[in-house]
Amino acid sequence: MLLTIFWLVIEKLLLIGLIVSLSMVVAMYATYAERKVAAFLQDRIGPNRAGIFGLLQPLADGGKLFFKEEIIPLASSKFLFILGPCLAMITALLTSAVIPWSTPLHLFGQDVPLQVADINIGILFIFGVVSLGVYGIMIGGWASNNKFSLLAAVRGASQMVSYELPMGLALLGLLLLVGDLRMSVIVQNQIEHGWHIIYQPLGFIVFFICALAECNRTPFDLAEAENELNFGYHQEYSSMKLGFYLFAEYINMFISGVVMSCLFFGGYDIPFVNEASWGISQNALAIIGFLVMLTKAFFFVFVFMWIRWTIPRFRYDQLMNLGWKKLVPLALFNMIVTAAVILWLKK
Amino acid sequence: MTWLESIYLWNIGKGMLITIKHFFKKKATIQYPEQKRTFSQVFRGLHVLNRDEEGRERCTACGLCAVACPAEAITMEAAERQKGEENLYREEKYAAKYEINMLRCIFCGYCEEACPKDAIYLSQTFAPANYGRQGFIYKKDDLLIPDPVKDPEGYKKALGERAKA
């Protein structure tokens, strides 16, 4: 008994380590991808000097951030000032805990699920952790003791709180379809009945827009609006503390791509084929599923960047109008229609 | 604004279509140190003090370039050619000191037009960076073209396409 618990702990620790480092590497290269995508969309080439195709650029950037001078403003409250970026980073990494990355691996005569925790409130857990992300911004902006940071933090917080509402409502239709909050069940349901995007296109659009807002990405990057609030809530931050904030943003982006592919695009499912009938080993299937999942997530990350380099920032009143007057009614409409159709079909 | 317009989606989609088209377009970048933009024939870059075919300096230190210079960037001191220096200087008088302050120079090319001996002309290289202001005051060593007899290749390279050799 004790031994099985011991092995379980080891297994989960390894998996956590793997996922965290994966998120880190993806975030690192997301900065590179961001610059490349930006360049390509603007008829430029982008970083190409460090290593072939500039592939070592993220390392150079990271190294630079580490060696920058660490400045903690005298007027700031030191503990909270340091806590801010830590919280942002922790919450960004926590969300990946309930993601079903792929079908189970078969190692040492037993199935190893590629999911850290298959808790029965999976999607609620994600929502909870994402809302905690506000504290990273709030505490960081407030502790800086700088009016620009504070303004940005207030903006960011109100934006995230406003957009969580339509985000949750948009998902209700999907949850009515599945009837379960477990992430693994949501993915399994799509493998059996087809991707949720077919049943919930409106829900997906609302969810996608809200995800953009939750990640503080353009066109909703009011929290760091460079030209009006200098650098937003991380203005007073330097060195790796700033790096943490920026990193957390990219991790959030990656995770929200993963969450979207889990919820609406079948997770690790390959469309139009029944991969179980290929007759290849369980481990190979798991790895293929994992790669499929990553591909979908990267596609969403690309779309995020594509949007960022296409449209300008929303004005604050436009942001609030869109959130409360457009997206909330749309999400409610979607929920009611879904509920009515399900009732009608059941009768 | 209709309701559909007010959720921006349609117009954002149109915008994104435009940017994705640029994604696949040919890039305008010129990889600078390896690739260089070709300048037009009339480009006016850094100055070169020319020599004649035997490698003698053409400049006779008449000072017309300094007079013509609207930015007053050129300073020179003349000296008389001594016996045995005929292989160095073409005329009896030469510039012992010849300086151009590249921070003052406006690259108008009047010095080139004023020169009766075709001794100075503007090449196709443009001003490089430097750490201090002193570095931008180009001495005779910096300006003089390589000797065509001793270093014909360097001479040809420095001559470029604009010299009226």
B16 touches chain A (CB under 8 A): yes
Q: Residue B45 is encoded by which pair of tokens? A: 């870059």
Which residues in chain A are closer than 8 Å to B9, comparing Cβ atoms?
205
In this prediction, what percent of chain B has a pLDDT beyond 70? Answer: 95
First and final C-alpha spacing in chain A: 48
**Whole-number Å distance between alpha carbons of A165 and A42:** 35
Q: Are the C-beta atoms of residues A298 and A32 closer than 8 Å to each other?
A: no
pLDDT of residue B165: 46
Helix or strand holding residue A132 (H, E): helix A122-143
Helix or strand holding residue B17 (H, E): helix B9-23
* Whether pLDDT at B64 is above 50: yes
Which residues in chain B are closer than 8 Å to A312, comparing Cβ atoms?
none
Interface test with A, best of B18, B29, B35 (most A CBs within 10 A): B29
**Whole-number Å distance between alpha carbons of A80 and B65:** 67
Cα–chain-centroid distance for residue B161?
12
SS3 call for A166: helix
Q: Are the C-beta atoms of residues A268 and A100 closer than 8 Å to each other?
A: yes
CA atoms within a 13 Å half-sphere pointing along the CA-CB vector of B145:
35
B15 touches chain A (CB under 8 A): yes
Q: Which residue do the tokens 């995770």 mark?
A: A255
A interface residues, B as partner, C-beta within 8 Å: 37, 40-45, 205, 306-307, 309-311, 322, 326-327, 330
Which residues in chain A are closer than 8 Å to B12, comparing Cβ atoms?
307, 310-311
Contact B22 A326 (CB under 8 A): no
Contact A45 B29 (CB under 8 A): yes
Q: Are the C-beta atoms of residues A234 and A71 closer than 8 Å to each other?
A: no
Return the number of other C-beta atoms located less than 10 Å from residue A295's C-beta.
11
Which strands make up the sheet holding B74-80, listed edge to edge?
Answer: B74-80, B93-101, B137-138
* E-state strands within chain A: 105-107, 110-112
Per residue of chain A (347 residues), what is the pLDDT tens digit? 788 888 888 888 988 998 899 988 998 899 899 999 999 999 888 888 888 888 898 899 888 888 888 888 888 888 988 888 889 899 988 888 888 888 888 877 777 788 888 888 888 998 888 888 888 888 888 888 888 888 888 888 888 888 889 998 988 888 888 888 888 888 888 888 888 888 888 889 999 988 888 888 878 877 777 667 777 778 888 888 888 888 888 998 999 999 999 888 888 888 777 777 777 788 888 888 889 999 999 999 999 999 988 888 888 888 888 888 888 999 999 999 999 999 998 87
Which residues in chain A are closer than 8 Å to B6, comparing Cβ atoms?
326
Give the distance from residue B128's alpha carbon to the nearest chain A alpha carbon, in angstroms. Answer: 21
| CB nearest to A41's CB, from B7, B22, B31 | B22
**Whole-number Å distance between alpha carbons of B74 and B98:** 7
* E-state strands within B12-147: 47-49, 74-80, 93-101, 120-122, 137-138
* Whether pLDDT at B3 is above 80: no
CA atoms within a 13 Å half-sphere pointing along the CA-CB vector of A7:
8
Q: What domains are there in chain B, each with its CATH number?
A: 47-159 (3.30.70.3270)
pLDDT of residue B162: 58
What are the tens digits of pLDDT across the range B68-103?
Answer: 999 999 999 999 988 888 888 888 888 999 999 988
Interface test with A, best of B2, B5, B19, B20 (most A CBs within 10 A): B19
| CB nearest to A43's CB, from B9, B15, B27 | B27
Domain ranges of chain A: 69-346
B9 touches chain A (CB under 8 A): yes
Closest CA to A263 of A95, A144, A112: A95
pLDDT of residue B164: 52
Q: Are the C-beta atoms of residues A105 and A111 closer than 8 Å to each other?
A: yes
Supply the DSSP string of A177-188, one letter for each residue: HH----HHHHHH
Q: Which residue do the tokens 């603007």 mark?
A: A42
B30 touches chain A (CB under 8 A): no
Give the distance from residue A19's alpha carbon to the nearest chain B alpha carbon, in angstroms. Answer: 31
